[in-house]
Amino acid sequence: GGFFAEEFEVAELIYAEAALRLRLPEKKVLKCVEATVKVITWALTEGKDFDFVFKNFGVLVCRGKRVVMRFFEDLLRDVDETGILANTFLQV
């Protein structure tokens, strides 16, 4: 139980949904995510600056120990038709 068990369950659902939508084996999706997390962890540990671009989604920007996700405006508008989410992120 506890926080980590709940977090793990959510992660499993995300991998399963991504695999289904991408028509890829769930294990392959999991390995890609794990590899990406390893690279990001290494960069953060070494104090490297980086921009990780998610095509049609946004950019994860790391400068020193500060990490910020910059979402593309079109994605925010597509995800939230009310505009509340887009306005919140665009004002930050």
The tens-digit pLDDT sequence of the chain (92 residues) is: 444 445 555 566 677 888 888 898 989 988 888 888 888 888 888 889 999 898 888 898 999 878 888 888 777 777 766 656 656 655 54
Q: Is residue 84 part of a domain?
A: yes
Please provide the size of the chain in residues: 92
Q: Is residue 25 part of a domain?
A: yes
Domain that holds residue 31: 15-90
Q: Is residue 51 part of a domain?
A: yes
90, 76 in Cβ contact below 8 A? yes
Model confidence, pTM: 0.57
**Local structure of 14: helix, strand or coil:** helix
Rounded CA separation 28/37 (Å): 14
Whole-number Cα distances in Å, 26 to 35, 75, 88: 14, 25, 33
Q: Is residue 1 part of a domain?
A: no
Q: How many domains does the chain have?
A: 1
Rounded CA separation 58/52 (Å): 9
